[in-house]
Structure 1
Amino acid sequence: MEQFTFKHTNTIGHLIEGNELYDQYHYPEMPIRYDSSFIEFRRMPTLADFQQAEQYLTAFHQQHDQHHLRFYFADNQKPAGDLLEYISHQNYDIGFMELYVINPLDFPHIINTDITIEEVTDITLDDYLKLQYEADMEFGETFAKQKVGLNKHQFEANQYVQVIAYYHGDPAGTMDIYVGEKAVEIENLEVRSEFQRKGIGSQLQRYAMDRYHDSAILLIADGEDTPREMYQKQNYRYLSYKYELLKIVK
């Protein structure tokens, strides 16, 4: 199997600047989406490097009425020393993501006749949008409303497959599949709270495994969240990590 990195995963955002130190992405279509407007370092910056990039991104986002600073570090590199001390004192939220891969043949075979999984169509799009809206309300009403436009755009795009789960006929969960050049990525897997622990998340993944059985399947997990433990039990293989910073600027 090919050696995959975070570069093989999907980025919703436009690359607008690149130099030897970092790449900058911007997504004016949804400025409130923090994960789409950011700087990603190609190597670990010095403290002076970081402060210069921070100053630049602050001014850029102010010009575009954006109220956040988001930075990603290079794969498998953790900030330390005076850089870590600085970002800690600057009230950044520090987290990390983990990248996993699986051969679809290794995913557990699960069958539950109470659950129906299908690709979103014109007929089921409203159900999908409503479930996504409910999940996105965690990040505020403005975000949830703007995300509707992104979801509709991806519904029309060839590289995305949107999937919905029904439990006894009731809309219960959603999942997005991004079809890349060398791998398929599972994104935005969500199950309504009242339908959790019924195997719906596993059945959604099973759909991706069956549909793309000849492709490697990638998945990004929050390095500090419990679902990553479920993925490990489902035979996903850990590949790498990436540290991230976020600060909301008033």
Structure 2
Amino acid sequence: MENITFGDIYNPGQVVFENDRYKHIHYPEMLIRYDSNYIEFKMMPSVAEFIEAANYLTRFHRKYGQKHIKFYFPGNEKPSKELMNHFMKACYEVGYNELYAIQPKQFPNVTNHPDIDTQTVTDTNFQAFLELQYETDLEFGEEFANQKEDLHKRNFLDSHILQILATYKGIPAGSVDVIISEKTAEIDGLSVKEPFRKKGIASRLQKYVMDCFPDRTIILVADGEDTPREMYRRQNYHYLGFKYEVQMVYSSND
């Protein structure tokens, strides 16, 4: 398998500042999207270096009315005990992601199901796709759902992004975005609506991706503390590494 790292993962944000220690990523089109507005450290910082970066990002985000700060750390490195103690005392949320990859021919066989249909999103079914996404995104608030709808519209026009919709008995039930590069196809935002889970829809969405891109390496990022990662391991994805992250969300009174 090719040398794939977290650097191969797509993010719509842009670098607005960079020094020897970190890169600052900003996405003015969707300020509320934490994963596109953050600092990514190039090397593991000391506590003092982290606090300095946190103060910088806090000032920057407050200027744009953003109510969070988020940080990613170098791949396959766990923050020091001193950093972890600081995160706990300062009330940061700590987590980590895992990177996976698979060659399409390694994905398990998936039998067709008469009630499940997977299809590329086109002008014909785009509105159904948007309505499904909006209902899902409302979990994070109306403002987020509205901004995410605009992102879905931009993605629809992007030739490097493929949107896929799954229906169950004709009802929109699940979806996934695929970010296409020269050598990889990245599975992003794979989701299945609650009433339709455990029916094999997620597997069929993935199989559709495998069939669309048989000559590319399929990659994805999974929450290291969430259950979907167990599904990916069962489906023959290869674990490639981990990456720690921390974030803090301010209340309206902060």
Cα distance in 2 for partners of 1:86, 1:156 equals 43
8 Å contact kept, 1:119–1:161: yes
> Would you say the 8 A contact 1:13–1:27 is kept in 2?
yes
Residue deviations 1:17-38 (CA, integer Å, cap 9, x gap): 1111001100111111111100
Alpha-carbon distance in structure 2 between the residues aligned to 1:66 and 1:157: 27
Q: Which residue of 2 aligns with 1:14?
A: 14
Which string of whole-angstrom CA distances, capped at 9 and with x for unpartnered residues, describes residues 127-171 of structure 1? 101111111111111101111000000000011000000112111
- Higher mean alpha-carbon deviation, 142-151 vs 75-84, is at 75-84
* Distance across 2 between alignment mates of 1:219 and 1:19: 28
8 Å Cα contact 1:99/1:220 also seen in 2: yes
- Structure 2 SS opposite 1:150: helix
Take 2:136 and 2:229, find their aligned partners in 1: how far apart are those partners? 19
Equivalent residue number for residue 141 of structure 1: 142
- TM-score of the two chains, using structure 1 as the length reference: 0.98
Give the 4+ runs in structure 1 shifted more than 2 A.
none
Identity among equivalent pairs (%): 46
SS across alignment from 1:143: helix
What's the CA shift string for 1:146-201, capped at 9, x where partnerless? 11000000000011000000112111111100002331100111111111111000
User: Deviation at 1:82?
Assistant: 1.7
- Give the alignment of 1:71-150 within 5 angstroms: 71-111=71-111, 112-150=113-151
Amino acid at match of 2:89: H
2:2 alignment partner in structure 1: 2
RMSD across aligned C-alpha pairs, in angstroms? 0.8
Distance in 1 (CA, whole Å) between partners of 2:155 and 2:59 is: 30
Secondary structure of 1:45's counterpart equals: coil
Local SS of the residue matching 1:3: coil
2:45 is aligned to: 45
**Is 2:173 the counterpart of 1:176?**
no
For structure 2, the 5+ residue unaligned runs are: none
CA contact (8 A) 1:8 1:180 kept: no
1:216 aligns with: 217
Aligned residues: 250
Amino acid aligned to 1:168: K
In structure 2, how many angstroms separate the alpha carbons of the residues matched to 1:30 and 1:105? 36
Distance, in Å, in 2 between the alignment partners of 1:133 and 1:49 is 39
Q: Which amino acid aligns with 1:183?
A: T
Whether contact under 8 Å (1:209, 1:217) holds in the other structure is: yes
1:193 corresponding residue in structure 2: 194
Match of 1:25 in 2: 25
Residue 95 of structure 1 contacts residue 245 of structure 1 at CA under 8 Å; is this kept in 2?
Answer: yes
Q: What secondary structure, in the 3-state scheme, does the structure 1 residue paired with 2:30 have?
A: coil
Q: What is the rounded CA distance, in whole Å, between the counterparts of 2:188 and 2:76 in structure 1?
A: 21
1:88 Cα offset (Å): 1.0
In 2, distance between residues paired with 1:87 and 1:195? 38
TM-score, normalization: structure 2?
Answer: 0.97
The structural deviation recorded for 1:249 is 1.8
Q: Which runs of 5+ in 1 are unaligned?
A: none
Rounded Cα–Cα distance in structure 2 between residues aligned with 1:82 and 1:200: 43
